[in-house]
Structure 1
Amino acid sequence: MGKFIYFTEAQKERAANVDLESFLCQRGEKLLPSGRDKRLARDYSVTVRGCEWFDHASRQGGRAVSFVQRFYDLSYPEAVSLLLDGQQGQAYPAVTHQEEPPRKPFVLPEANPNMRRVFAYLVKQRHIDRQVVAHFAKAKTLIEDSKYHNCVFVGTDEQAVPRHAHKRSTNSYGKAFRQNVEGSDPRYSFHHLGSDRELYVFEAPIDMLSFITMYPEDWTAHSYVACCGTSGLPVLHLLSQIPQVREVFLCLDSDEAGQVACQRMAEQITEQSGLVSQRLCPQLKDWNDDLRAWAETHARSMEMGGLR
């Protein structure tokens, strides 16, 4: 039996309110940005904000003490002691409760009069079918940002009013720029509504367009959504709006983050709608990688055929 340690209620509360981001950083853990939260690099399903944590895979969460118990395999007294003692003689800071600034209103970026750069980027560099790009351009759910010439993938509400926009740079070199426009409503990410029973779910808009390019038969009859990340909120909202859907295909990336997100989404979908989703996994990391590999192979075979 472990040694009994007496803690006052004030000590227990102080330990529970330790700022988890500071705690984890001081212990050498790597954290990744995830909206207003931070995601644990060694376990993508876990996010922290202030003194609170949540495991999206197991759907469990709590405050700092339970986090330390769970992820460092400590008893309650050991976890409280660790949080109170701090690191190298310095106490772990407590979370400061501040009012969040008011959310800025959503403003869609001004559209460029032509879309030459977006078409050139998506068709020539990403190998997406020109007619597929044209379909979304005509629907005004794909525009070119007039200031920076980014691809802007627009999500609309039930009245076709833009509520969400995801920007993606068209530069060929250097680090790609990806960002949701401030004020975007996460329920309304980039999507296409069809009339049949099938819904296909992706992380990125370019992966969605790549999949349609590779599997074009009757594509407009199906429904598609790009979550612009790994949140299941756009999927759950879409399912509440299109009750005819009976088959959900989770087409997220093949990496660890995609696998974890698929498991989490599958549980959320079953819990909300009773549907059992299916996993469609790209052969490479994502569907655009698959499309570009196919395009390169096809080009080489055409060259070889021309030499014969």
Structure 2
Amino acid sequence: MPYYTKEQIQQARQVDLLTYLQRHNPEELVHVSGGTYCTKSHDSLKISNGKWCWWSHNIGGSTALDYLVKVCGYKLPEAVGMILGEQPQLSSRPVSKPPPKARPDFQLPERNPDARRVFAYLCARGIDAEIINHCIKSGQLYEDAKRHNCVFVGFEHGTAKYASLRGTLSHSTFVGEVAGSDKRYSFCMPLQANNRESVCVFESAIDALSYLSILKRKGQNWRSANCLSLSGIYRPKADAELKLPLALETYLQHNPGIQKIILCLDNDERGREAAQALQQCLHGYQVLDNPPPKGKDYNDYLQIQKGIAGRVKTRGGEER
């Protein structure tokens, strides 16, 4: 095992993960949007603003050294050598994955006494006030007391099991999950599926609420639609077995009457790839690919319809 001085270790600690991968392993980087990246090996590992977080394992850091040790399983001297260019690089040596960590206990953030910031934020994105209030009254949406994020809650038989977070500041692009969230029970509308044979599938809760707002604008009964958020999508890996997202697999198990699945995923590259992969997985169902007619996602499309595009900063970093 090579030996490195404290000065060399400190030098290695100065290198952030994005810089390291750009220099030594650029094929591992996948551009998500704006200044956000993920890795080809771990699509739940996001890199943004000089930091990284592996959401599925609830670990993160800022340096390439942390990544090589915590994610890739290298010993500290090996990782230092790789960063300093004195060891074989990540792409040229097999890496053993660290053992999966037990999911931390799930606990919802403390609820704010009111939801004024959440209500104002979602209204600014064009979502109908009646639909927002419905979600708040049902407990599926609230404002957290500490950071005033939107908290979108998913349930299993009336017990909260999942929560996604969305920042409410006008220029915020924050998106996250509460630690310990179980992706099998993502946000869906209504809590119990209507007696219908179809479900509309979205990447996020905001897209689902935007779609319901569009139905209401058309004079249709928004309460009759079954909508499911996947809480993000994955990029299918080449030559890997295609699998259903956990949220969709669980939803279909609990609602055996569903026969038609309408994929309302984004109009970007990842959304189109995911839609194509899902159509290959969903044997025995009628599957319809139904991206928004305009804009990147259904919230974009709603804002275009309402003439408010350009007022809200979204995850990708652009104002629209």
TM-score interval (norm. to shorter)? 0.5 to 0.7
Taking structure 2 as the reference length, the TM-score comes to 0.65
Of 300, 305, 311, the residue aligned with 1:294 is 305
2-side partners of 1:148 and 1:297: how far apart?
A: 26
Aligned partner of 1:177 in structure 2 is 174
Give the conservation status (yes or no) of the 8 Å contact 1:118–1:151: yes
Aligned partner of 1:95 in structure 2 is 95
2-side partners of 1:292 and 1:98: how far apart?
A: 43
Of 159, 162, 165, the residue aligned with 2:163 is 165
Which blocks of at least 5 consecutive residues in structure 2 are unaligned?
A: 1-19, 31-36, 47-53, 55-84, 235-244, 310-320
2-side partners of 1:237 and 1:269: how far apart?
A: 13
What amino acid maps onto 1:118 in structure 2? V
CA shift in 2, pair 1:250/1:34, >3 Å: farther
Aligned partner of 1:268 in structure 2 is 281
Aligned partner of 1:112 in structure 2 is 112
Aligned partner of 2:80 in structure 1 is none
Aligned partner of 1:187 in structure 2 is 184
User: How big is each residue's C-alpha offset from its partner over 1:34-82, in whole Å with a ceiling of 9 and x where there is no partner?
Assistant: 79924899xxxxxxx9xxxxxxxxxxxxxxxxxxxxxxxxxxxxxxxxx
Task: Note the aligned Cα RMSD (angstroms).
Answer: 2.8
Q: How does 1:1-308 map to 2 (within 5 A)?
A: 26-29=24-27, 30-31=29-30, 32-33=37-38, 37-38=42-43, 90-92=87-89, 93-123=93-123, 125-157=124-156, 159-173=157-171, 175-192=172-189, 193-216=193-216, 217-231=220-234, 232-270=245-283, 274-282=284-292, 283-296=294-307
| Pair member with larger Rg | 1
Identity %, equivalent residues: 33
In the comparison of the two structures, how many residue pairs are matched?
227
User: How big is each residue's C-alpha offset from its partner over 1:261-307, in whole Å with a ceiling of 9 and x where there is no partner?
Assistant: 1111222222xxx1031011112101111111111179xxxxxxxxx
CA shift in 2, pair 1:94/1:36, >3 Å: closer
Which blocks of at least 5 consecutive residues in structure 1 are unaligned?
A: 1-21, 42-48, 50-87, 299-308
SS in 2 for 1:201: strand
Give the conservation status (yes or no) of the 8 Å contact 1:151–1:167: yes
User: How big is each residue's C-alpha offset from its partner over 1:167-187, in whole Å with a ceiling of 9 and x where there is no partner?
Assistant: 0000101x4110011111011
Aligned partner of 2:59 in structure 1 is none
Query: Which structure carries more relative contact order (alpha carbon 8 Å, separation 6+)?
Result: 2
2-side partners of 1:228 and 1:210: how far apart?
A: 15
2-side partners of 1:39 and 1:121: how far apart?
A: 26
